[in-house]
Structure 1
Amino acid sequence: IYEYVKTFKKDKKVLLCKKKVNSRLVSNIPADTRILDEENLTLLPKATKNPVEVENERIAHIRDGVAVTKFIYWLKKNVGRSPITELSAAEKLYEFRSEQEDFIDNSFDPIIAYGKHAAIVHYFATPETDIPLEPSGFLLADTGGHYKEGTTDITRTVVMGSTTEEEKKYFTAVLRGTLNLGAARFLHGCTGVNLDILARQPLWEMGEDFKHGTGHGVGYLLNVHEGPNSFRWKIVPGGNAVLEEGMITSDEPGYYREDGFGIRHENLMVCKKAEKTEYGQFMCFEFLTMVPFDLDGVVPELMSVRERNLLNDYHAQVYEKISPYLNEEEKEWLKDATRAI
């Protein structure tokens, strides 16, 4: 490509985005070639998945859901009984994913962060930082897989044992944000900026926040971070795309207490058309991720009736779609893990 662009004639017009293209490529384009510095024209078509791609993503997320559900069961059964570290846990999750049909590889380096490590946003374990998991506190697991049917990205905060009331309070607040954003109904034309408050409101009411975006677009067996769709409250250039049918976006609020603990709950969801009225086309979301949220960290009394119903409905879907792929012991555990609250 670097040699090819040198052959461009002066009557050529080249469209590229200087924010994304590297300097060597740009400098190799002849000076008399006209450059149109604009956003990549393929971004929006890639972001709006077609019905076949969306259905394939549902399949990928069931396979991934089976792997991650098995992993959570394995964690809870074995922590404190056999040695497990952040790195060995990541290897075990890779093993569960590898057992799934059409699995290709991780979609990014796994973030398995225990205890105070989870308070470091986007921490990843190394041989020097690797620590053992203990039967107390939280384990944050932000991981994903590439399958022939698509790409997954999921975060679950797993209760490893004894936790404080304060930890459960924040665990529940973050979960409320995830559920409320996932249940949004909105007019076509809205962007992630319009909806971000739904995820942050439970924390903002407590005078708290998290210092990262609430959600990012996800590619179809491509980049796990793919624009232009996102959820954030800050208006940034190029980051405020209208939410279109077929867009897949993550829903991942969090809370991080420095040197204490970290919480993040992440589902991927696809944007869909809802009813059309005199006011225009309404839109909604469908959760693609199918893995239980850890009820051991939930305080039902801190949730509204609507929020509890949202969680119960979601967990009923998880059990229906994931349980057929589990053994009897795992299935029995999942039945309790998805019980109505």
Structure 2
Amino acid sequence: MDLFIDENKLNDEAKALLAENNITVRPYNDIYEEVKNLKAGESVMIDPMKLNYALYNNIPEGVEKIEHQNPTILMKAMKNDVELENIKNAHIKDGIAVTKLMHWMKTNVGKIKITEMSAARKLEEFRKEQEGYIRDSFEPICAYKDHAAMMHYAPTDESDIEVLPEHLFLTDTGGGYIEGSTDITRTFVMGPVADELKTHFTAVVRGMLNLSRAKFLYGCFGYNLDAIARGPIWDLDIDFKCGTGHGVGYLLNIHEPPTGFRWQIVKSKNEHHKFEEGMVLTNEPGVYVEGSHGIRIENEMIVTKGEKNEFGQFMHFETITFAPIDLDGINPAEMTKFEREWLNNYHAKVFEKIGPHLTEEEREWLKEYTRAI
């Protein structure tokens, strides 16, 4: 068997393992000539979503083309028990870093100069303190006030602004650790905010936690469940023009096919596969008001099996992200009893898992920000 790959991507251990399994490593671009050697009557599997036209055009006439998604995509998306345990460990480390950032920003804003970029650098410092940290898993999105209304804004030297003791600050970032990659978003309340912002904040939190506690039958797709997260936001006659969540790779691509959460099918996104046990997905509804503010709360979840009975195999999600959700932005009166219970239980777990890794001052602060409401 031949593997066409840039050899620089393989270390000596990987090369030895491939050789032991009778896999020959060949230069990546050799595939363009190799496919010409296929004979009429033979078959080749192709993924139209990924195959470029030059390679497709080199396949000889008479060769059967079987159109199918690359089978390794689903294999990678369904993590095994070792991978899942490692990913959970990575999220504890990342939760420590994000919690430290939240404490640092909320206790220092107005006392020292904090900007979007300096906040991003501070979070990187906290992540570097964690054992096994490698790099950021993607370019950090740290956005203050109306900058957060731009979903994929990233601060530059020209756009960087100071964070003041008012309004909202959004941080959508991730860490790459030996145990896996993370993707987490939190929106911090930096000072007094209008009632409208609290209503939007509360709706986003409600949407996120309602999707987190969803139960569903095996065979459901992202578009079957997406409205659960959008419901509280749609109730305000607001929508967000992006997906609610995506698959996450194991120290690979942060946006991993073949599934995700959307209310409509977008074939180009390659997110239209039913949920399988072991998949890891983000859950990140939001509200974005141009010229004013952006709010997003994001946790990661594992697809797990629940009860199996005469109705079929029930499934649910296990939340694996642990960092406080800013209670300063929440109006408990706008939440149901079950929503408050879920949030209180979640925050109890945050304190249990993250608290022991903080300083005494940070731990006392976290106790206040994970209190029951």
TM range (shorter): over 0.9
Q: What TM-score do you get using the length of structure 1 for normalisation?
A: 0.96
Q: Structure 1 residue 16: deviation in Å?
A: 3.0
User: How far apart in 2 are the matches of 1:217 and 1:225?
Assistant: 6
Q: Does 1:154 align with 2:181?
A: no
What is residue 10 of structure 1 aligned with on the other side? 38
Kindly state the Cα deviation for residue 278 of structure 1 after the two structures are TM-superposed: 1.1
- Residue 167 of structure 1 aligns with which residue? 197
Matched, 1:61 2:88: no
Q: CA RMSD in A?
A: 1.3
TM-superposed CA distance for 1:21, in Å, is: 3.4
- Is 1:255–2:287 an aligned residue pair? yes
SS at match of 2:169: strand
On the 8 A contact 1:2/1:25 being kept in 2, the answer is: no
Largest Rg, 1 or 2: 2
- Verify: 1:295 aligned to 2:327, yes or no: yes
Deviations 1:186-222 (A, max 9, x none): 1111111111111000011121111110000000111
Tell me, in whole angstroms, the C-alpha distance in 2 between the residues paired with 1:13 and 1:337: 60
> In the alignment, which residue of structure 1 is the partner of 2:317?
285
**In 2, Cα distance between the equivalents of 1:334 and 1:162?**
20
1:71 counterpart letter in structure 2:
L
2: distance between equivalents of 1:174 and 1:320? 24
Aligned residue for 1:242? 274
Corresponding residue SS for 1:73: helix
Output one character per residue of 1:126-156: Cα deviation in whole Å (capped at 9) or x when no partner: 1111111111000010000111111100000
Q: CA–CA distance in 2 between the matches of 1:100 and 1:199?
A: 32
Picking from 299, 312, 332, the partner of 1:267 is: 299
**Structure 1 stretch 236-245 or stretch 314-323: which is displaced more?**
236-245
Q: Which residue does 2:336 correspond to in 1?
A: 304
Higher deviation after alignment, 83-92 or 311-320:
83-92
Q: Match for residue 331 of structure 1? A: 363
CA contact (8 A) 1:10 1:34 kept: no
Aligned AA for 1:288? Answer: I
Distance 1:244 1:97 in 2: 31
Cα distance between partner residues in 1 of 2:145 and 2:52: 39
Give how far 1:34 is off.
5.1
* Deviation at residue 30 of structure 1 after TM alignment: 4.7
Offset at residue 49 of structure 1 (A)? 0.7
Alignment of 1:179-258 (within 5 A): 179-237=209-267, 238-258=270-290
**How many residue pairs align between the two structures?**
340
Matching residue's letter, 1:191:
F
Moved more, 45-54 or 17-26: 17-26
**Quick one: which amino acid aligns to residue 177 of structure 1?**
G
Q: Gaps spanning 5+ residues in structure 2: where?
A: 1-27
Sequence identity (%): 53
Residues 268-317 of structure 1 deviation map (CA, whole Å, 9 limit, x = unaligned): 00011111111011111111100010000000000000000000000000
Q: Which residue matches 1:144?
A: 174
Q: Distance in 2 between matches of 1:65 and 1:21?
A: 38
Question: Is the Cα–Cα contact under 8 Å of residues 6 and 30 in structure 1 kept in the other structure?
Answer: no
* Whole-angstrom distance in 1 between the partners of 2:222 and 2:93: 28
Secondary structure in structure 2 of the residue aligned to 1:122: coil
**Greater relative contact order (CA < 8 Å, ≥ 6 in sequence):** 1
Alpha-carbon distance in 2 for matches of 1:143, 1:162: 25
Tell me how far 1:336 sits from its aligned partner: 0.6
Question: Structure 1: where are the runs of 5+ without partners?
Answer: none
After superposing the two structures, state which structure 1 stretch, 214-223 or 236-245, moved more. Answer: 236-245
Following superposition of structure 1 onto structure 2, how do residues 62-101 of structure 1 map, counting pairs within 5 Å? Answer: 62-101=92-131
Q: Distance in 1 between matches of 2:256 and 2:59?
A: 30
Query: Residue 26 of structure 1: CA displacement?
Result: 4.2
For residue 92 of structure 2, give the secondary structure of its aligned residue in structure 1: helix
Residue 275 of structure 2 aligns to a residue in which SS?
A: coil
**Partner Cα separation in structure 1 for residue 144 and residue 55 of structure 2:** 42
Q: Give distance in 1, aligned partners of 2:43 and 2:287.
A: 47
Q: 1:316 to 1:210 in 2, by over 3 A?
A: same
Q: Which amino acid aligns with 1:216?
A: H
Scaled by the length of structure 2, the TM-score of the pair is: 0.88
Cα drift, residue 17 of structure 1? 2.1
